[in-house]
Amino acid sequence: MKKDIDFPKSENVFLAAIPEWNEDFQEKSWYVYLVNNTNKTLEMVLAVSRAYGTINNELRKTGTFRHAFKEVAPHTLVKIELLENNVLQLNNEFAVTYFLDDKMFDKTFVFKTNTINDKALSDIPGTDLRGVLLK
């Protein structure tokens, strides 16, 4: 069981919601990226995402999405998924699991309701980008 596994603390791997122009929707959209700010390659990366919360006193939730990456190179970022504007008012959760130095790491990141916005932008370490950062 997962509770019986000793997971080392995940460091220098985080998520960032970054605003970009979306040609398909002809508007600014938010994309979630996995940022590997370590000096080593992450292997067998799995990100599982879902959104949940209450809108107008009604419980809402999205489906669960799974994203896999064979490797994520050091000091790079990879796009995980687009967050449609209507899910920004929900909690957006990303459970990320990966291997580094033959050890399995696991961390859950949650962008809380309405925290993805222009007022919350900060510099993304190791890049010239700005976004909403979760460490």
- Please answer whether residues 26 and 84 qualify as being in contact, where contact means their C-beta atoms are separated by less than 8 angstroms: no
Cα(52)–Cα(16) distance, integer angstroms: 19
Alpha-carbon torsion, ordered 120, 86, 35, 11, to 10 deg: 70
Query: Is pTM beyond 0.85 here?
Result: yes
In this structure, which CATH number among 3.90.420.10, 3.40.710.10, 3.40.1160.10, 2.60.40.2420 belongs to the domain 2-134?
2.60.40.2420
Residue with tokens 């309701």: 113
pLDDT along the chain (135 residues), means of 10: 72 96 91 97 98 94 97 97 93 97 95 96 93 96
pLDDT number for residue 4: 67
Ordered by start, the domain boundaries in the chain are 2-134
Please check whether residue 64 is in contact with residue 92, taking contact to mean a CB–CB distance below 8 angstroms.
no
Q: 62: Cβ–Cβ under 8 A, 6 or more apart, which residues?
A: 50, 51, 52, 87, 90
Give the pLDDT of residue 126. 85
Quickly tell me which residue has 């687009």 as its tokens: 82
Task: Of 116, 129, 112, 57, give the one whose Cα is nearest residue 83.
Answer: 116
